[in-house]
Structure 1
Amino acid sequence: MNLHFFPSKRLAFYLAKLFVLRSLAVLAALVIILQTLDLLGESGKILRHPGNGDAELWQYVSLRVPQLVSRFLPFAVLLGTLITLATLNQNSEIVSMKAAGISAHQIVAPLVVASIAIAAVTFAFQERIVTRAIATLDTWEAVDYGPMPPESRTSQNVWVRHGEDLIFARLVSGRGTGTRLRDVRIYDRSGGTLMSILTATSGRSQGDAWLLEDVERFEVTNTRVTRIPAVIFGEGVDPTRFTLSNVDPDQKDFRALQDAIDQMKAAGRPTSALEAGLWHKVSGPLSVLLMPLLAGVAAFGLARSGQLFLRVVLGMALGFAYFVADNFALAMGNFGAYPPALAAWAPFVLFLLIGEAVLIRTEE
C-alpha cells in the first residue's frame, strides 16, 4: 500500500490542477451572472445622479466584484470539487487509483493542499481589497452615488443617543476633533414625546459641543418650520460616539478591527459581535478547506451503480449545510448567545469532523 501523503507528484499536480481550474471557472460564471443582475438593479440609481455615466457604472462594477468574489468563493470551491470528483469517478479514474493502492485520503490530499493555498490568497485578498471596496461602496451609496467626501475613514447611518434626544448622521467622516457629520437629523424629545426635528446639512465638533449648519427646525406641536443658519447642539457628546457606534467588521481589516475593539473595550462598550467578526475573518477563508472533505462523498463508489447523482447531491447538501450553520452561529454570536470564538470556529470544527468521518467511512 502507498503510505505517502501524496499518491505521486504527477498525480497530485493533475488532481490539484483540475480542482483549481474548475473552481475558478465556476467562480467566474457565478460572478459574471450575479454582477450582471446586480448592475441591472443599481444602474438606474447610479445614472440618476447628474453627471454620472459609463465611468461610474464601471467604477461600481470594480467595487462590487471583489465582494462577490469573496462571498461566493466557498460556493465555487464546493461546486468545483463536486465537478472534479464526479468526473473522475465517471471516467473510472478513481477506480484506477484505488486499484493502484491509493487511499481516499491520498486522493483528496492534493485538493486540500490547494484549498489551503486558496484560503491564504483569499485572506490577503479580503484584507487588502475587499474591506476597502466595501467601505468605499457603502460611502458612495450613502451619498446617492454622488461625489464622495475626501476623508477615507467614514461611517454610514450612525445613531447616537444624547439624553432623551436621538441624533442621526447619514455620513460620518474623520476622527477626533476633525469629525464631520453630513445629513444630520436630531429628534428633540421631552418626557418621551417628540417636540421637534432639526435637520442640518452638516455638523462639526466645536469645543465640547457640535456646530450644525444650514439648519431647518420642524416643531411638531404647531407644524411650524424655521430656518436657522447655525445651531450649537449636543454639549458633552464625544466625537468617538459617532466613530465607534457603527463599526462594521466587513469594512475593516484584521488589525484595524482589533484596534476598534480595543477602543470600544476601553470605552466600556460591548464588543462580542465585533470579536466574532474578527475571528470569522480567519475561519471564513479557511472554509474552502472543508469543501474537498465534504464533497469527497461524490468521489467514491461505483459510477455504474446509478447512485453517483445522489452522492453529488449529498456532497452539495453537506456543503450548504455548513454555510447555514456558519451563518446561524455568527448570528448567535452577534446576539451574544454564543461566545465569539465559538460562533466563528464551532461550524468549522464540526464539519471538519463530519468530512473526515465521510472519508474514514469511505476507506472502510
Structure 2
Amino acid sequence: MQLEFFPSPSLMRYLAKLFIVRILAVLIMLVLVLQTLDLLSESGKIMGVPGNGEAQLWHYVSLRMPQLIARFLPYSVLLATIITLATLNQNSEVVAMKAAGLSAHQVLAPLLMTAGAISVVSFAFNEAVVTRTTGTLKAWQAVEYKPIPPDAKVRANVYLPDGPHILAAGAVSGTGALTRMDNVTWYRRDSTAMVLEQVRAPHATYANPGWRLDRPVSFDVKGTRRAELPSTIVAKGITPAQVAISKVDPDGQNFIELYRSIKALKAQGRRTGELEGKWWHKFSGPLAALLMPLLGAIAAFGLARSGQLLIRAIIGMALGFAYFVIDNAALAMGNFGGYPPLIAAWAPFLLFALVGETVLVRTEE
C-alpha cells in the first residue's frame, strides 16, 4: 500500500465528501456575511440615485457576489482543510489510517485531488464569470450607480495626457468615432504641471479632432472663479485609438483578452510589466486552493490527546494566511518592477509548496 499514492476508492470517496461539504459550508457562510455587510455599506449610494430601487440592489448583489466567491474560495479551502483534518485527528481516524499502513501523503491524497478539481473550476469561473461582472460593476460604480450605456466594453477611470494637460473620464463606452465619455474633467496645466483650470462636464463625444464637452463648468484655480461655458472642444491631440488602449483593467478581462491587450500596448511601446504579472497570476492564483491541504496538513498528525491539536491547527492556519500575504506582496513588488512578472506570480506558490512539503515530511514522514 505504501507504493500507491491513492488509498482505497471507499476511503477516497469518504474523505472527498467530507472535504467538499465543509468547503461549501465555509464558503456559503463567508460569502453571505460579507455580502450582507458590503450591501449595507453600498445600499445608500445605490438607492440615492433617482429611479433606483430593489431591482438595482439585486443587480449589485449579482455583480458583487462572484467577486466574493472568487476571493474567498481559497480561504474556504484552507479553513475546511483544518476543520476536516482536525476532526479526523480528534476522532482517531487518522491513527486508524496510519495503522492500516497509509502514509501522510496517502491520507492527504483525496483532499489534494479535490482541491485540484476546485482549482480548475475556480479558473473557469474566474475567466467566464468574474471578469465580466467585475468590468460591469466598475463601470457602474464609475457613474455612481446611474444607468450606463449598454456597451460591453465600458471602461472606468480613464486618464489621457494631451501634452501637459489631462483629460479624465469616469467611464468610457463605444469605439471609434462613437466613443462616449461620462463624468469628464479637463485639467489645463502649465509647463510645471500646475493645474490652472478644471473644466467638468457630464458627457463628452469625439469632435474630430478633439472632444466636445456637454454643458461644461469651468473652475479657475488661481482666481477661484466658477463659470458655466458653452459647448467646448478640448484635447485635440487625443484620438479614439488612444482611448481604446489607454485603460486596460486586468481584473475585467479574461486571459485571452488580456494577452491581446498586452500585445497592443507593447506595439505602442508602453510598459506592460504590471499587466504581465496579472496575466500570469490568472493561472497561479486559482492554484492556491491546491496548496491549502498541504499547508493545513499539520493539523492532521500528532496525537489529539497530547493537547497540541489546537496549536497544530493554528500553525496550519498561519501558514495558509502567510501564503496570501506573501502572494499579494510579491504581486505588488512585480507591479513596481521589483520582480519579473513570472517570478512575482509563481514564486510564492512554489515557495509555500516546498514549505508545506517540508513541514509534512519533518513532522510525520
TM-score per shorter chain, which class? over 0.9
Q: More displaced, 234-243 or 13-22?
A: 234-243
Paired letter, 1:139: A
Contact kept? 2:331, 2:344, Cα under 8 Å: yes
1:222–1:305 CA distance, 2 compared to 1 (3 A): closer
Secondary structure at the aligned position of 1:244 is classed as helix
2:184–2:202 CA contact under 8 A, matched in 1: yes
Determine whether 1:263 maps to 2:264.
Answer: yes
Residue deviations 1:302-351 (CA, integer Å, cap 9, x gap): 11100000000000000001000000000001111110000000000000
Give the whole-Å Cα distance in 1 for the aligned partners of 2:123 and 2:195. 47
- What is the aligned partner in structure 2 of residue 321 from structure 1? 322
Distance 1:201 1:35 in 2: 31
Q: Indicate the residue corresponding to 1:351 in structure 2.
A: 352
Aligned to 1:124: 124
2:43 is matched with 43
2:65 aligned partner, one-letter code: V
Aligned to 2:290: 289
Q: Which SS does the other structure have where 2:239 is aligned?
A: coil
Separation in structure 2 between the aligned mates of residue 55 and residue 212 of structure 1, nearest angstrom: 32
**Partners of 2:346 and 2:118 in 1: how far apart?**
19
Cα distance in 2 between the residues matched to 1:46 and 1:277: 30
2:301–2:364 Cα contact (<8 Å) kept: no
Judge conservation of contact 1:172–1:243 (CA < 8 Å) in 2.
Answer: no
* One-letter amino acid of the counterpart of residue 276, structure 1: G
Distance 1:79 1:216 in 2: 53
Fraction of identical pairs, as percent: 55
Q: Secondary structure of the equivalent of 1:260?
A: helix
Aligned residues: 364
Q: State how 1:43-122 maps to structure 2 within 5 Å.
A: 43-122=43-122
Partner residue in 2 for 1:232: 233
1:221 Cα deviation from its structure 2 partner: 4.3
Structure-2 separation of matches of 1:92 and 1:223: 76
Q: What TM-score does the superposition give when structure 1 sets the normalisation length?
A: 0.96
**Cα distance per residue 1:228-272 (max 9 Å; x no partner):** 332222122122433333322111111111111111111111000
TM-score (norm 2): 0.96
Q: Match of 2:2, as an amino acid?
A: N
In structure 1, what is the equivalent of residue 217 of structure 2? 216
Moved more, 177-186 or 129-138: 177-186
2 CA distance for matches of 1:218 and 1:34? 41
How far the C-alpha of 1:152 sits from its partner, in A, is 1.3
Displacement over 6 Å in runs of 4+: none
AA matched with 1:57: L
Residues in 2 aligned to 1:355 and 1:131: alpha-carbon distance in whole angstroms: 31
Partners of 2:300 and 2:342 in 1: how far apart?
33
> 2 CA distance for matches of 1:222 and 1:36?
46
What one-letter code is carried by the residue in structure 2 that aligns with 1:251? Answer: G
Cα 1:95/1:177, change in 2 over 3 Å = same
Q: Post-superposition shift, 1:226? A: 3.8
SS at the partner of 1:170? strand
Query: Which residue of structure 1 aligns with residue 8 of structure 2?
Result: 8
Contact 1:155/1:243, CA 8 A, preserved across alignment: no
Unaligned stretches of 5+ residues in structure 1: none
For the residue of structure 2 that corresponds to 1:301, the secondary structure is: coil
Distance in structure 1 (CA, Å) of the matches to 2:363 and 2:76: 24
Tell me, in whole angstroms, the C-alpha distance in 2 between the residues paired with 1:164 and 1:351.
46
Map Cα deviations across residues 278-314 of structure 1 (whole Å, 9 max, x no partner): 0001100011010010011000111110000000000
How far 1:224 sits from its partner (Å)?
4.2
Q: Letter of the aligned partner of 1:332 in structure 2?
A: M
Tell me whether 270-279 or 142-151 shows the greater mean CA deviation.
142-151
Q: Deviations over 1:197-223 (max 9, x none)?
A: 222222122323222222223334444
